[in-house]
Amino acid sequence: MTSRRDFLSVAASLSLAPAFNAQAFAQLTRARAVAAGRNAADLADDETFWFEIQRAFEVDRTWVNLNNGGVSPAPSMVIEQMIRDIRYSNEIPVDHMWRHLQPRMESVRRELAAEFGCDPEEMAITRNASEALETLIFGLDLQRGDEVIVSTQNYGRMLNAWQQRVNREGIVLKKVQFAVPVVRDDDVVHAFAAAITPRTKVIEITHITNLTGQILPVRKIVEMAKAKHIEVFVDGAHAFAHFPFTRDDLGVDYYGTSLHKWLYAPIGTGFLYVRKEKQKALWPLMAGNPGQENDIRKYEEIGTHPQANFNAIAAAIVFHRGIGSDRKIARMRWLRDRWAKRLLADGNGRVKVLTPLDSPNGGGIGFFNVDGLDPVKLGGWLYSKHNIVTTPIVHEKEFAGIRVTPNVYTTPQEIDVFAEKVLWAMRQGIA
């Protein structure tokens, strides 16, 4: 656990200009004072601590937003830095944006690399996980007949990208299935291993599924695949800053994520990690400059773009560190269990939760369905009648339900309102 002195020194080391919003920074400092000397589990339900975190967000409390997995609000200190930089850029963009703000992204690169546990020369800043993963999908040379293995629970945009390579180049896309929720990690590993043939070149997996919130055994799959000289692309869109891990915990060579979900960076931010020795063989999505063959920055050659969004990632990192990764995931699981276990207890056997509870294989994302209630209609009723935002999901023929993704600014009262309305709908029905 970092000390207050460590925290303040990290903030100063980011070399941000102009300075952070004083009030938002003070809220972090007060929260850390409450947390001093206490472990993450003890703080999970301490509303004195989390009230200070909640105050850092300017959100519309007439809504209960339980779709932070799509995109999360950013705390005020992040938004204010981005706005300041936008205004500064606009004074004379060719000078302020390109000559002053763009070089500062190297500080962002350094701090993101420190969080992920890699060399800064392996960290590219992207606009989202889709851009990062499509760089991987379209960047690797494959021949007609080469095989790629994914799961039916991979993100739809990634499946579409692979299908385009199938249509244009004649590669073979194989989809494996696994149970929901997963009973044993080895069941997932065996599902992928059973699909491998001598033509298999790539496996793409999600770190935590965007559907049910199942955390998959990435390291086991990577080790299995590397032994067979198969590349593994990891879609970490929902994982980074959601729960603690580093590159070396996973053993990955490739990783892509969004930062506007669980890191609370501005909308349109993400990163792509590519291990140094893999960069030369991986083409960028847009052409790089001559001499960039071994430069991670070739994956950032997207043309003119606003720099303010990217630089404000640094403020989000400070906020994330101020909370602490262990505290964040403890709170997220506590919020998830507050609604999930209540629905299970009071739902008369009609509620099924498809996310692992009381397990390290689940995080803040929860997924449930109710026998006799259409999830799409239930989600629409919650939204239109009660201003509660959730994510109804009907996944092919495998499962259907509602995804619930609260965040650190979510209050227990908001969780209770959601649970009460679902139970009311179960008893009274919905129009």
pLDDT tens by residue, 281-338: 999 999 999 999 999 999 999 999 999 999 999 999 999 999 999 999 999 999 999 9
Residue 362: per-residue pLDDT: 96
Whole-model pTM above 0.85?
Answer: yes
Q: Are the C-beta atoms of residues 403 and 70 closer than 8 Å to each other?
A: no
Residue 396: per-residue pLDDT: 84
Residue 403: per-residue pLDDT: 98
Q: How many CA atoms lie within 13 A of 240 on its CB side?
A: 31
Q: Which domains does the chain have, with CATH numbers?
A: 100-316 (3.40.640.10), 327-428 (3.90.1150.10)
Start-to-end Cα distance in the chain: 50
d(CA 82, CA 359): 37
Other beta carbons within 10 Å of 422: 27
Q: How many CA atoms lie within 13 A of 132 on its CB side?
A: 28
Radius of gyration of the chain (CA): 22
d(CA 50, CA 175): 42
Residue 250: per-residue pLDDT: 98
For 75-164, list the strands marked E by DSSP: 123-126, 147-151
Phi, psi at residue 319, to the nearest 5°?
-65, -45
Q: Are the C-beta atoms of residues 124 and 133 closer than 8 Å to each other?
A: no
The whole-angstrom distance between residue 6's C-alpha and the CA centroid of its chain comes to 26
Phi, psi at residue 233, to the nearest 5°?
-100, 135
What does the CA dihedral 72, 75, 80, 82 come to, rounded to 10 degrees?
-40
For 230-377, list the strands marked E by DSSP: 231-235, 254-258, 270-274, 351-353, 366-370
Q: What is the mean pLDDT of each run of 10 residues along the chain (431 residues)?
A: 43 43 62 73 92 94 97 96 96 95 95 98 98 98 98 96 98 95 93 98 97 97 98 98 98 98 98 98 94 95 94 96 95 98 97 96 97 97 98 93 98 98 96 70
d(CA 218, CA 349): 33
Q: Are the C-beta atoms of residues 271 and 112 closer than 8 Å to each other?
A: yes
Q: Which residues contact 347 (CB under 8 A, 6 or more apart)?
A: 370, 423, 426
